[in-house]
Amino acid sequence: MGRYVVIIGGLIALSGGAYLAIFVWWREFYELVFGSIPPLLFLGGLVALIAGISSIKDKKRIERLEEELPETQINE
């Protein structure tokens, strides 16, 4: 029973939020969405940069470990 109440409450909140965003606060919602694009691009670029640097470091670490490993252990 409790699950259905949560689902119905979620649907009511979803529809109420959509109504307010579209019909009442459209201008503010529009500004919020378009105002969030530059920070999202900045943070997305920062995450991509960190992931790329980490990937390069991992590749170099793997190459260094493969060079240090004796040939007999590689063939086993």
Q: What are 39-66's pLDDT values in tens digits?
A: 999 999 999 999 999 999 999 999 988 8
Tell whether the model's pLDDT for residue 73 goes beyond 70. Answer: no
Q: Is residue 56 located within the same domain as residue 29?
A: no
Tell whether the model's pLDDT for residue 26 goes beyond 60. Answer: yes
Tell whether the model's pLDDT for residue 71 goes beyond 70. Answer: no
Q: Is residue 58 located within the same domain as residue 73?
A: yes
Instruction: Please state, rounded to an integer, the average pLDDT across all residues of the chain.
Output: 89
Secondary-structure breakdown of the chain: helix, strand, coil percentages, each rounded to the nearest 5: 90, 0, 10
Tell whether the model's pLDDT for residue 75 goes beyond 70. Answer: no
Q: Is residue 45 located within the same domain as residue 23?
A: no
Residue 36 and residue 32: Cα distance in Å, rounded?
A: 6
How far apart, in Å, are the Cα atoms of 30 and each of 15, 25, 41? 18, 8, 17
Q: Is residue 41 located within the same domain as residue 76?
A: yes
Is the whole-model pTM more than 0.85? no
Q: Which domain holds residue 28?
A: 1-33
